[in-house]
Chains A and B, each alone.
Chain A
Amino acid sequence: MADTPKPAEIAKIDHYPSPFEKGWMNKQVEIKPGVYCYASKPKNLEYVGMPYPREWNPADEDWKLPENWKEIIEEGFKDRLDKYRSFKLFMDICVRCGACADKCHFFIGSGDPKNMPVQRAELLRSVYRKNHTIGGKILGPFAGARELTEDVLKEWWYYLYQCTECRRCSVFCPYGIDTAEITIIGRELTNLLGLNIDWIAAPVANCYRTGNHLGIQPHAYKDMMDFFTDEIEDITGIRMEQDFNRKGAEILFITPSGDVFADPGTFTCMGYMMLFHYLKEQGLDITWSTYASEGGNFGFFTSHEMAKRLNAKMYAEAKRLGVKWILGGECGHMWRVLNQYMDTFNGPPDSLEEPVSPITGTKFENAKTTKMVHLVEFTADLMKHNKLKLDPSRNDHLKVTFHDSCNTARGMGFLEEPRYVIKNVCNNFYEMPPETIRELTFCCGSGSGLNAGENMELRMRGGLPRANAVKHVHEKHGVNMLSCICAIDRAVLTSLMEYWVPEVEVTGVHEMVANALVFDGEKKRTTDLRGEPLPGMEDEEDV
């Protein structure tokens, strides 16, 4: 009897289910500069008919919420529980084992426990318990449930826009809970109150109006491509004109607009152009579009409906031009949408046919329903069939490693093709450590619309695990080039490298392909696409 604890002592025992959740519920969130992105501007929400457009500032106390904001969220929450079985399941089945806790790059880089995936999901889950479970309704905080208040909403917003929807955590969860999907739904809910970030809202509005994120009009798009044509001519001596909006072409090519307007993606774009020109003689009949001028889809970071709306233009333009199938450039989230959603969003496209490579005759059976093929896969197939004359020594000044973009690696299992292509065009390739690549790849830290400038500190810490692995191969093998197949990566990894490993540059895969591609009748190449001297050509005159 003497050992039996007294009631007062029992009351002190902590019954809280998981050690890493101690006290988290009661701490009020502090919205910090360098971490949060600026609020969506009203004009961008208005343009696409999103609710509650207004000027507001995340750093202000008053977010100017509509009076019935709580009802709107609770209603929206309920709708989505009914609509998405996976969401309901993810709310219910987490056992808080902690396996995902230390797998998120934002937690690893920041040490902020609220960036543990389980905690991020708990933001929504705690409110779910309060409203939708008996235990939560009765026991409240003792069952891990909490009331939805303005502070809770602010915390949602702050941490939902600190998740890049990369899915790394889901790989480690024994139940397959995908926190990225929870973030996606959570962001949908914030959008019901007009609480988006402008870095997402502006591209969405632009894309809806002009067809691409930057709001580039057709003539400017064409101007840029003409500029590249001149550049390519300077380097190779061959004029490689492209076709635009050409009706009756066999294939439509769609790529992220970042390739056309932002370095170093521009060099990748030149790579596409050169490859297409090279294949013309072998029967490639392809056109670009100045309307479907964006492969990316920031609607995907807003809501399922918005993603669907913006995605629709791909099939619409394919139909208008009367092409047989679509080829897609090097992009990350574009491919996640195409691979996971397009079929149900806007498919099946009756006007299109099952893609067949006009050069090799290969049937892309994996694209049977979507009718859209990844360019890297297309190129890998060309290489497999020896259709390209390549001189990989032209890339000998590069020591290359490859960053698997979360979306292509975990979102579509696209792992071997890029490596196959890279190894065909360069002699020095080094993998980063196994726990940082392929399906375990570390995110760039800037995906899912978080590639703004004002949140640079967040991006740098989120990208730290990736940069740390690059640094390792840089120190061990002298790696000086980080390759990737994503337009956002090309832009953001450049900044990431500048901060963490400044000796390493960033490239798309097709830039290296084009460097190695040997054209009949080309002039002696002395530089690569960036105008840097090729190995052994350092003393040539026109360098």
Chain B
Amino acid sequence: MSIDKILAEKRSKIIKKWRNAIIKSYPEDGQGFLKREKSQFANPVGLTISTEIETLYDEIIKGENTEKISSCLDSIIRIRAVQDFKPSRAVAFVLQLKQIIRDELGSGHSDKMRILDNRIDEIALLAFDVYSACRQKISEIRVKEVKNQVGKLLERANLISEIPEQRPAL
């Protein structure tokens, strides 16, 4: 059987394993909740993981649409970037897919697997970019809040005087 066929056939099994692997990164006593298929509003983290990795899997196999891949990564990593994870742990789930696929494929298919490995490596790098962007955003928000709380006040109360955009003519 061709690798593509196997990957299509085992799609749901691989995705399930992948999801479980991701959920395992959370504290044990919270995992049951994350797995529960509640409404997307009661369990946004669990549901985001489940739905996004499905799309992600399909796109990884096809290997075409980088934008879609980025958007899936963003949905998951935006959450993990503000949870109790070290940076490496926040993005590790991408690499976990390798072993899961390999376990399902068994031996052989080494050429195809190499291509897939490379693709997943690429996506792991992309994940790193996404993670950094999220963290960058957090810092920006922090700075903005401070500025908004104090800077505006000083400016409006005429307590500070900034250099004007244009120098007044002498």
Contacts and interface: CB of A to CB of B under 8 A. Distances in A.
Interface of A: 19-22, 24, 32, 34-35, 101-102, 107-113, 214, 216, 220, 223-224, 227, 261-263, 433, 435-436, 453-454, 456-458, 460-461, 464-465, 468-469, 472, 491, 495, 498-500
A30 to B, nearest CB: 9
A461 B26 contact: no
Interface stretch (B93-101, B107-115, B152-160): B152-160
Contact of B41 (A107, A110, A216, A469): A469
B64 interface: no
B141 A112 contact: no
Q: Which of B40, B41, B144, B152 has the most CB of A within 10 A?
A: B41
A313 B22 CA distance: 53
A261 B84 contact: no
Interface string B132-150: 0000011011101110110
Interface of B: 26-34, 38-45, 78-79, 82-84, 137-138, 140-142, 144-146, 148-149, 152-153, 156-158
Given A110-B83, A223-B158, A435-B42, A456 B29 contact: no
Contacts of B38: 102
B158 to A, nearest CB: 7
Contacts of B149: 214, 261-262, 491
Given A457-B138, A465-B41, A468-B44, A262 B148 contact: yes
Given A107-B30, A112-B30, A457 B82 contact: yes
Contacts of A21: 29
Contacts of B41: 433, 435-436, 465, 468-469, 472
Contacts of A24: 29
A153 to B, nearest CB: 21
B33 A102 contact: yes
Given A113-B30, A500-B78, A465 B141 contact: no
Q: Which 8 A-B pairs have the closest CB atoms?
A: A113-B29, A111-B26, A111-B30, A460-B82, A468-B44, A457-B82, A113-B30, A453-B142
Contacts of A113: 27-30
Given A102-B43, A223-B156, A500-B78, A263 B148 contact: yes
B148 A108 contact: no
Nearest to B29: A113
A294 B30 CA distance: 40
Contacts of A223: 156-158
B156 A227 contact: yes
